[in-house]
Amino acid sequence: MDWHRLSQVAKSAEATPIIDRFGEDDRARDFSVAAGDLLFDYSKTSMDAAGRDLLVEMFHAANVPARRSAMFSGGKINETEGRAVLHTALRNLDGGPVLVEGTDVMPGVRETLDRMEVFAEGVRDGSITPRGGHAFSDVVNIGIGGSDLGPAMAALALAPYHDGPRCHFVSNVDGAHINDVLLGLDPSSTLVIVASKTFTTIETMTNAETAREWIARKVGMDNAGAHFAALSSATDKTAAFGIDPDRVFGFEDWVGGRYSMWGPIGLSLMIAIGGQAFRAMLAGGQWMDRHFAAVEPLENLPVMLALTGLWHNQGLGHATRAVLPYEQRLSRLPAYLQQLEMESNGKGVSMDGAALPVHSGPIVWGEPGTNGQHAFYQLIHQGTRVVPCEFMVGARGHEEALAHQHRLLVANCLAQSEALLRGRTLGEARERLAGTFEGVELDRQARHRVFPGNRPSTMLIYPLLTPYVLGQIVAMYEHRVFVEGVMLGLNSFDQWGVELGKELAQDMEPLLLGSREADGKDGSTSQLVDYARKHGD
Ligand code: F6P
């Protein structure tokens, strides 16, 4: 993969101000992908035709299409763990068979989805109740990472579709989290869903035990089981925890944690929005899968999103990218994408174990607009580092009576992308201040009001954030990560980088308890252990 050439081509393209490119024939249309109801516009970037051609050439040189087919058809492309990668099967609602080692996984996927739906509808309509009680009023999903971020993000995104019990999420091992969530709830009408693929994650298991004690205090340990369900592939461990197998929804090792909201891990969401809306989200994801699998790179949403990402990060060296949804209900999307992108592509070695010849995937961060505008956009507009921005916005909002507010939201989103592009020159700044200042002071004041402009951004615009559209957006980002990962030559589906800290934390606990001395630790760690012991409980 000729990363050096990409960098040369990108740097030479960057010499032309982006705004000048709009003199070219219909740049906006040519550097956009319109598919389904979605429009992805990457024309406000420095990418030119030569750069794009090179990226498409690199896409083919990396054999992305073959790798993509291998993923969809159950090939073991997660090579370090010897696993297939088939989250796409979870939304293959009306598709054909998907074989893993010669066995079609689709009957199992459909059966689990149907079981989830029966359970979810039972909780929603009150036919599944706690022992001797009324219907469940609240659902608490206990999970972390992929067992939390997906359903938590989607439950907030789809708030207008909630017509089931209230839905809460507990992830942090910090007791403050579960304490604060349970505070307002009644244990006798609360359903706790323990979501953990492995059912060993320390945060989740600790919180699950806390929740069980909380429920048992009110209804008795013998009745506590009726308040629990589990989402896991480790059925032996769910049984040991005492969860009735009828309330365990399993999935296979070919569903990675951060790709798992489409199956059982989405149960809390399904309870909140109902089976029909949940299936609509899956259908949106399936639409994106088909689009990704079939369409040529230039017309392919995830592919062009990926190539734009590589252009900015590996081509131009911009280490971060900001995800800026103008959609308050997507306020957890940046956190969701942090796991999806950074746990998938934040790796220093390629699939064969050799050092990566180029930087790994970018640092992803963001906040919804317009809030971010009043916080960190200052740096985005005038700071010395360039942050490529990924805006997204719905043309409509759900609040019909507040359409004027939505118009303001859209206006702000479009204006920010325009401001980043055009900036403001010193001459323009001077002109605006001419009546207020003069001479040296005019010049000094004007300099503070200059916007360099020429700052890259992309825009994803969609009609309305429905379950179907959310499914399209999330699947688009999943495939973007896949394309970037394949082109970088790394394995997007393992996460060894989370292990060391977990191991050391286990070792640290006895030190904090004082049952062992901090011998052999570095000076800083020993000092911190001493402080925590002195001031802790
Ligand atoms: O520690 C990282 C991780 O393994 C993530 O990949 C995963 O989403 C999360 O922990 C939770 O894992 P589990 O679902 O097994 O509890």
The tens digit of pLDDT for each residue in 465-489 reads: 999 999 999 999 999 999 999 999 9
- For atom 3 of ligand 1, the residue with the nearest CA is 145
For atom 1 of ligand 1, the residue with the nearest CA is 498
More confident residue, 537 or 395: 395
Q: Which atom of ligand 1 is nearest to the CA of 146?
A: 8
Closest atom of ligand 1 relative to the 257 alpha carbon? 8
pLDDT above 90: residue 535: yes
pLDDT in tens, 110-161: 999 999 999 999 999 999 999 877 899 999 999 999 999 999 999 999 999 9
| pLDDT surpasses 70 at 48 | yes
Catalytic residue list contains 418: no
Q: Which atom of ligand 1 is nearest to the CA of 498?
A: 1
Mean pLDDT of the chain: 96
- The reply to whether 343 belongs to the active site is yes
- Judged on CB neighbours under 10 Å (0-12, 13-18, 19+), 183 is exposed
Q: What is the pLDDT of residue 24?
A: 67
pLDDT in tens, 394-407: 999 999 999 999 99
The pTM of the full predicted model, rounded to 2 decimals, is 0.97
pLDDT confidence of residue 132 = 77
Among 4, 431, 502, 517, the active-site one is 502
Strand 320-326 versus strand 363-365 pairing type: parallel
* Residues 325-342: tens digit of each pLDDT: 999 999 999 999 999 999
Candidate list 252, 327, 343, 367, residue with the active-site label: 343
For residues 25 and 144, which has the higher predicted lDDT (pLDDT)?
144
Per-residue model confidence as pLDDT tens digits over 154-182: 999 999 999 999 999 999 999 999 999 99
Among 201, 260, 481, residue to substitute to test ligand 1 (most atoms within 8 Å of Cβ): 201
- In this prediction, residue 264 carries a pLDDT of 98
Pocket test for ligand 1, best of 202, 259, 498, 502 (most atoms within 8 A of CB): 498
Q: Is 502 in the active site?
A: yes
Return all residues near 277 (Cβ < 8 A) that are at least 6 apart. Answer: 158, 161, 467
Ligand 1 centroid to residue 122 C-alpha, Å: 28
d(CA 99, CA 78) in angstroms, rounded, equals: 16
- Mean pLDDT computed over 225-234: 94
In sequence order, what are the residues at sequence separation of 6 or more whose Cβ sits closer than 8 angstroms to the Cβ of residue 206?
173
pLDDT at 518: 78
Q: How far apart are CA 270 and CA 8, in angstroms?
A: 48
Preceding amide of 525 cis, omega within 30: no
pLDDT number for residue 347: 98
Active-site option among 101, 374, 448, 534: 374
DSSP state of 40: E
